[in-house]
C-alpha cells in the first residue's frame, strides 16, 4: 500500500518496456513496435499518476501553482494531459516537432531537456528511497520533487502556449461575468416561477436550452451593463457572444417594444419551447 513501493514496481514496468523497445527492430516488426509503444504510454501514465499522489502526500504546500490551467481550451484539459506533455518533451529532445513550429520547438528544447533530466533524477531518488525507507520522505527527496513539479508546470504552460492561443486574463474575466449572469438569471427565473428548484436539483434536460435563452433576455434588458452590453464593440465582448453582435442588437430592439406582460409571456414560452 505504500506509494513509494507502488512507484518502484511502476518504474520497473516502464524500464522493462523501454528495454524491449530498444532491443526491437521497428522496421522488421512494426506491429510489435506499436504494441510496445502503447504499453510505454500506459506505463508512463501510471507512473505519473503515482508520482502525482506522492507529491500531494510529500509536498502538498510546496506545489507549483496550476492557476494557468484556466487559460487552456477546455478540450485540452483531459486526464492524460501530463502524459502528453512528457511525450512532447521526449519528441522535442529527439528533434521531432510533431505539433509546434520548428522555431518554437527549438526554444522549448532546453525546457524539455531540463524536465526529462529532472524526471530521471526523481526516478532514481524515489527508487533508492523505496528500497531503504519506503515510509518516509527526507528533505533531499522533497527538494527533488519540488524541482520536478516546478519544471513540469513551466514546460506545460510554455508548450501549450506555443500550441494554441491561451485565454487572456480579460477573456477569463468575461467568462466569469457570463457565469454571474447565468446565476442571476436562474435566481430571477426561480423568483418569477419560470423554473422550480426541483427542475434544477433533478438536472432537467430542458434547462440546457431554457437558461441560456433567459440569460440572453436578462443580459440585454435586466443587466444591460453586463457581459451582453452592446455599448461595447464586438472585440470587447466574450468570444461566446461576439460573433452574434448584430443579431443581439436586433433581439434587443425587438425586446424593447414589448410590454411587461408580453415579455413575461415570451419568457414563459422560452421555458417550454424546444
Q: How confident is the model at residue 265 (pLDDT cuts 50, 70, 90)?
A: very high
- CA nearest neighbour of 170 among 228, 216, 225, 238: 238
The predicted pLDDT at position 142 comes to 94
| Mean pLDDT value of segment 253-264 | 91
The predicted pLDDT at position 215 comes to 93
CA distances (Å), 120 to each of 52, 109, 124, 127, 135, in order?
15, 17, 6, 11, 21
Provide Rg for the chain, Cα atoms: 26
Percentage of the chain lying above the pLDDT 90 cut? 51
The predicted pLDDT at position 68 comes to 82
- CA nearest neighbour of 45 among 88, 16, 102, 87: 87
| pLDDT at position 274 over 60 | no
| pLDDT at position 8 over 90 | yes
Rounded to whole angstroms, the Cα distance separating 134 from 210 reads 55
Instruction: Give me the helix-helix angle, 260-270 and 207-217, nearest 10°.
Output: 160
pLDDT in tens, 165-199: 666 777 778 888 999 999 999 999 999 999 899 98
Rounded to whole angstroms, the Cα distance separating 50 from 30 reads 30
Domains in the chain: boundaries: 3-163, 169-271
Contacts of 47 (CB under 8 A, 6+ apart): 7, 10, 11, 14
Poorest-confidence range of 66-70, 76-80, 115-119, 199-203? Answer: 76-80
The predicted pLDDT at position 62 comes to 94
Structure-block grid coordinates of residue 224: 444591460
* pTM > 0.85: no
| Mean pLDDT value of segment 222-247 | 87
Q: How confident is the model at residue 152 (pLDDT cuts 50, 70, 90)?
A: very high
The predicted pLDDT at position 165 comes to 67
Amino acid at each position: 500500500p505504500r506509494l513509494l513501493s507502488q512507484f518502484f514496481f511502476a518504474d520497473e514496468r516502464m524500464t522493462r518496456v523501454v528495454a524491449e523497445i530498444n532491443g526491437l527492430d521497428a522496421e522488421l516488426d512494426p506491429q510489435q513496435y506499436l504494441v510496445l509503444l502503447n504499453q510505454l504510454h500506459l506505463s508512463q501514465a501510471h507512473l505519473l499518476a503515482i508520482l502525482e499522489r506522492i507529491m500531494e502526500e510529500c509536498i502538498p504546500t510546496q506545489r507549483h501553482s496550476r492557476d494557468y490551467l484556466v487559460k487552456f481550451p477546455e478540450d485540452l484539459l483531459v486526464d492524460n494531459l501530463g502524459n502528453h506533455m512528457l511525450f512532447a518533451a521526449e519528441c522535442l529532445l529527439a528533434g521531432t516537432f510533431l505539433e509546434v513550429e520548428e522555431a518554437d520547438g527549438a526554444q522549448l528544447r532546453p525546457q524539455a531537456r531540463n524536465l526529462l533530466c529532472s524526471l530521471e533524477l526523481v526516478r532514481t531518488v524515489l527508487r533508492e528511497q523505496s528500497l531503504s525507507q519506503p515510509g518516509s520522505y527526507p528533505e533531499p527527496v522533497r527538494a527533488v520533487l519540488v524541482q520536478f513539479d516546478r519544471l513540469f508546470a513551466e514546460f506545460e504552460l510554455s508548450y501549450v502556449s506555443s500550441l494554441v492561443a491561451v485565454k487572456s486574463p480579460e477573456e477569463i474575466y468575461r467568462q466569469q461575468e457570463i457565469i454571474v449572469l447565468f446565476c442571476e438569471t436562474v435566481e430571477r427565473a426561480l423568483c418569477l416561477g419560470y423554473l422550480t428548484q426541483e427542475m434544477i436539483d433533478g438536472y432537467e434536460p430542458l434547462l440546457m436550452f431554457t437558461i441560456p435563452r433567459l440569460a440572453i433576455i436578462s443580459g440585454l434588458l435586466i443587466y444591460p451593463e453586463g457581459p451582453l452590453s452592446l455599448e461595447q464593440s464586438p472585440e470587447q465582448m466574450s468570444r461566446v457572444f461576439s460573433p452574434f453582435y448584430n443579431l443581439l442588437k436586433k433581439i434587443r430592439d425587438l425586446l424593447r417594444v414589448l410590454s411587461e406582460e408580453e415579455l413575461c409571456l415570451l419568457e414563459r414560452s422560452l421555458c417550454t419551447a424546444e
